[in-house]
């Protein structure tokens, strides 16, 4: 019974279980089907929604209208507007011996700083010796000049006297000595003539007496001899007169005149030499005098430097070290003021404010220089005085960029400027850091958007307006910006939505309407000219013959000719074409299409010439006619 009942129960439960399983299978199928449909519907909704609103994921900004302040934020340093700057005036390098503490209120005449002057003390002693030597040399040159002047006068007087004597000798000979000699010669001739006449008369009487035998022959011969002697004396006297007139006179005249000339030249030489010696002595005296004065000036300068080693306050003021008043950073790498610190010449030591008025030293970047002008209002906030704002105005803008900042960073150009604060503000101290807002403009009612939403497209300011699920490019006219917001003058209204991430394609390149230097015209014309220039450059690269080894190749392998077609159609030409990039091939094809019929005919003629030259050169290179395997034209 138990078995029968069990079998009967088992037989009944089997179909029931299969029905339950069949029922559960149908429900699971429908559940999976429903789940799949739900997923598909969600995906379709997302896709449809994405298609309907492609701007749903964009970052946007709603154009606003309201007050807009155009300002330029910069950093600055507080300084006293009216101050006396004390500098180190000792030459070279020196060090600090004693120093007044910073912040001390001093009276006029109080000692501020004492510098090391030990080297100057040694130099002073050496310079005293140099001054004494220079003074002795000056006195010696002065006395030497007096001696030279005296000697020059004496030498000139002697030369003048010699010249006068030479002239007198000449006149004496012409007017006195020669006439006397001539008269003496003439008298001698006359005397000799009288003697001859008397001797002849005596001889005549002697001959008569001898004939009458009154005198001897000896006496007669003596009278004849006397006549002969008288004739000889007369002839000698006449010859002496001739010598005097023809030779002695001219020789003496020439000699005396030469003496006069030599005396004149000697006088001139003496005068020139005397003048030269006097001038040289005077120049030496002047040099010694200048040297003495120079040494004396150096001595006075050393004494002045010794006095400047101690610096006293010229006014009643509070002591501020120049290193504190400087802006610091990379601009000033000097050590803080302290005893033992080394100083250089012209280095600033102290700033002594003479009033409580303050100013701000600020560096304006070159990008903002066009907006800034003298007199613009400025709002200053000091880091050390939170919650307080001070008002001022721009009073100075440097005409040239700061060379020190350019040296540290050649790409950085800043212009040193001064902002004067209104009123006397005791709480402001020199060296405080501050923030400066230079107010360029204030608009009570303006439409503005972020600066990043405005691009230059086609040389015009452009925004991308999000409207009805699409993006619209719109040209706008813009005004000034404050580096965050930019004013929209026209082209965009309040409430319109603009994209803060403009399309990259539009922002990628400007049409070049702003390019200068030989380019002018519309954007399309400029693009065409740019493309032509690029094609010319690329064409020059294409026409450059490729470097192909010549060994083992029959016939010259030539480069690509004008128009993109090689002069030969053989394998060499095809290899040259195959070596080009697709862009170069496209450029060659366009160039060939743009050719005129005349240019194409010239190109074909060059191709035919190239083929014939290729055959000839190939046959010569191969040493004879080409074989079947040598290649084809």
Distance from first CA to last CA of the chain, Å, rounded? 110
**CA 130 to chain centroid:** 42
Query: By the 8 A CB rule, do 425 and 358 touch?
Result: yes
The 8-class DSSP code of residue 374 comes to: T
Sign of CA dihedral 516, 473, 503, 482: positive
pLDDT higher for 25 or 30?
A: 30
> Which DSSP string do the residues of 144-179 spell out, in sequence order?
HHHHHHHHHHHHHHHHHHHHHHHHHHHHHIIIIIHH
Instruction: Please give the Cα distance from 77 to 468 (Å, whole number).
Output: 51
d(CA 346, CA 92): 9
DSSP annotation string for 168-222: HHHHHIIIIIHHHHHHHHHHHHHHHHHHHHHHHHHHHHHHHHHHTTSS-HHHHHH
Please give the average per-residue pLDDT across 236-249, as a whole number: 87
**H/E segment holding residue 486:** strand 485-490
Distance CA 474, CA 478 (A): 12
Q: Give residue 477's Cα distance to chain centre.
A: 42
Whole-Å CA distances, 604 to 44, 587, 609: 63, 19, 9
Question: Measuring CA to CA, which residue among 87, 256, 95, 258 is closest to residue 176?
Answer: 256
The whole-number average pLDDT for the span 333-361 is: 85
For residues 46-50, average pLDDT: 49
Please tell me the CATH code under which domain 120-308 is placed.
Answer: 1.10.287
User: Counting every residue, how long is the chain?
Assistant: 633
Quote the pTM value: 0.49
For residues 120 and 98, give the distance between their C-alpha atoms in angstroms, rounded to a whole number: 17
Q: Span 557-579, mean pLDDT?
A: 41
Give me the sheet containing 83-87, strands edge to edge: 83-87, 348-353, 320-321
CA distances from 74 to 361, 414, 423, 434 (A): 10, 11, 22, 9
Distance of CA 554 to the CA centre of its chain: 60
Q: What radius of gyration, in Å, describes the C-alpha atoms of the chain?
A: 62
Let me know if the fold of 58-82+355-510 is the same as that of 120-308. no
Residue 90 has pLDDT above 70, yes or no: yes
Contacts (Cβ under 8 Å, ≥6 apart) of 40: none
* Mean pLDDT of the chain, nearest integer: 77
**Ranges of each domain in the chain:** 58-82+355-510, 120-308, 554-627
Task: Note whether 511 and 460 are within 8 A (CB).
Answer: no
At 513, the pLDDT band (50, 70, 90 cuts) reads very low
Instruction: Kindly tell me the sign of the dihedral angle through the C-alpha atoms of 283, 284, 285, 291.
Output: positive
Most confident of 210-214, 239-243, 525-529: 239-243
> Which of 37-46, 85-94, 269-278, 299-308 has the lowest average pLDDT?
37-46
What is the reported pLDDT for 230?
Answer: 87
CA distance 521 to 512: 10
Question: In this predicted model, what pLDDT tens digit does every residue of 424-450 receive, in sequence order?
Answer: 888 888 888 899 999 988 888 999 999
Q: Under CATH, to which class is 58-82+355-510 assigned?
A: mainly beta
Q: Residue 501: left (phi > 0), alpha (psi -120 to 50), or beta?
A: beta
Average pLDDT over residues 563-579: 42
Lowest model confidence (mean pLDDT) among 387-396, 517-526, 535-544? 517-526
Read off φ and ψ for residue 627, nearest 5 degrees.
-90, 180
pLDDT of residue 505: 60
Distance separating alpha carbons of residues 134 and 289, to the nearest angstrom: 8
Q: What is the dihedral of CA 245, 246, 248, 251, to 10 degrees?
A: 130
CB neighbours of 610 closer than 8 A, spacing ≥ 6?
A: 558, 561, 566, 567, 568
What's the average model confidence in pLDDT over 293-316? 93
Rounded distance between C-alpha atoms, residue 230 and residue 195, angstroms? 6
pLDDT at 534: 62
Phi, psi of 498, rounded to the nearest 5 degrees: -120, 150
Q: Which residues have CB under 8 Å from 437's CB, separation 6+?
A: 71, 72, 73, 378, 379, 380, 381
Looking at residue 597, what is its pLDDT? 67
Task: Return the minimum-mean-pLDDT range out of 13-27, 256-270, 328-342, 375-389.
Answer: 13-27
Q: What is the pLDDT of residues 180-215, one digit of tens each?
A: 888 888 888 888 888 888 888 888 888 888 888 888
User: Quick one: pLDDT at residue 40?
Assistant: 72
């Amino acid at each position: 019974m138990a078995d029968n009942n069990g079998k009967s129960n088992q037989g009944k439960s089997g179909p029931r279980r299969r029905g339950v399983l069949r029922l559960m299978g149908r429900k699971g199928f429908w559940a999976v089907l429903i789940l799949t449909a739900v997923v598909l519907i969600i995906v379709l909704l997302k896709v449809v929604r994405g298609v309907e609103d492609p701007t749903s994921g964009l970052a946007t900004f709603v154009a606003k209208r309201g007050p807009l302040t155009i300002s330029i934020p910069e950093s600055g340093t507080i300084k006293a507007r009216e101050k006396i700057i004390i500098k180190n005036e000792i030459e070279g390098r020196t060090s600090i011996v004693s120093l007044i503490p910073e912040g001390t209120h001093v009276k006029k005449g109080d000692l501020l700083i004492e510098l090391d002057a030990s080297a100057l003390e040694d130099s002073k002693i050496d310079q005293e010796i140099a001054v004494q030597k220079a003074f002795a040399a000056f006195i010696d040159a002065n006395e030497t000049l007096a001696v030279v002047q005296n000697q020059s006068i004496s030498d000139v007087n002697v030369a003048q006297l010699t010249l006068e004597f030479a002239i007198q000798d000449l006149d004496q000979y012409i007017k006195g000595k020669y006439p006397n000699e001539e008269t003496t010669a003439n008298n001698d001739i006359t005397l000799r003539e009288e003697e001859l006449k008397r001797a002849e008369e005596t001889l005549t009487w002697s001959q008569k007496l001898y004939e009458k035998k009154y005198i001897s022959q000896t006496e007669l011969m003596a009278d004849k001899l006397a006549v002969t002697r008288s004739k000889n004396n007369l002839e000698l006297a006449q010859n002496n007169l001739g010598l005097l007139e023809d030779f002695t006179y001219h020789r003496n005249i020439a000699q005396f005149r030469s003496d006069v000339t030599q005396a004149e030249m000697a006088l001139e030489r003496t005068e020139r030499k005397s003048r030269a010696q006097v001038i040289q002595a005077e120049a030496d005296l002047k040099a010694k005098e200048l040297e003495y004065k120079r040494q004396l000036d150096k001595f006075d300068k050393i004494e002045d430097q010794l006095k400047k080693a101690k610096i006293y306050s010229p006014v009643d003021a509070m002591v501020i070290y120049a290193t504190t008043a400087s802006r610091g950073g990379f601009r000033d790498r000097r050590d803080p003021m302290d005893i033992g610190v080394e100083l250089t010449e012209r280095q600033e030591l102290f700033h002594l404010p003479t009033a409580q008025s303050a100013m701000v030293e600020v560096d304006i970047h070159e990008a903002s220089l066009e907006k800034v002008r003298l007199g613009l209002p400025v709002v200053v906030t000091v880091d050390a005085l939170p919650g307080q704002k001070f008002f001022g105005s721009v009073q100075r803008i440097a005409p040239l960029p700061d060379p020190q900042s350019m040296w540290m960073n050649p790409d950085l150009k800043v212009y040193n400027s001064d902002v004067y604060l209104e009123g006397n503000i005791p709480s402001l101290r020199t060296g405080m850091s501050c923030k400066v807002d230079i107010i360029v403009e204030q608009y009570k009612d303006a439409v503005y958007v972020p600066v990043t939403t405005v691009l230059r497209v086609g040389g015009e300011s452009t925004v991308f307006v999000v409207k009805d699920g699409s993006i619209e490019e719109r040209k706008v006219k813009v005004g000034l910006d404050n580096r965050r917001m930019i004013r929209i003058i026209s082209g965009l209204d309040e409430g319109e939505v603009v994209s803060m991430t403009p399309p990259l394609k539009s922002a990628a390149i400007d049409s070049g309407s702003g390019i200068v230097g030989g380019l002018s015209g519309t954007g399309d014309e400029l693009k065409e000219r740019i493309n032509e220039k690029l094609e010319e450059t690329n064409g020059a690269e294409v026409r450059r013959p490729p470097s192909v080894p010549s060994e083992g190749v029959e016939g010259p392998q030539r480069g690509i000719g004008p128009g993109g077609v090689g002069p030969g159609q053989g394998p060499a030409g095809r290899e040259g074409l195959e070596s080009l990039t697709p862009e170069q091939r496209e450029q060659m094809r366009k160039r060939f299409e743009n050719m005129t019929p005349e240019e194409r005919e010239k190109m074909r003629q060059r191709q035919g010439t190239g083929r014939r030259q290729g055959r000839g050169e190939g046959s010569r290179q191969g040493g004879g006619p080409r074989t079947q395997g040598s290649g084809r034209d």
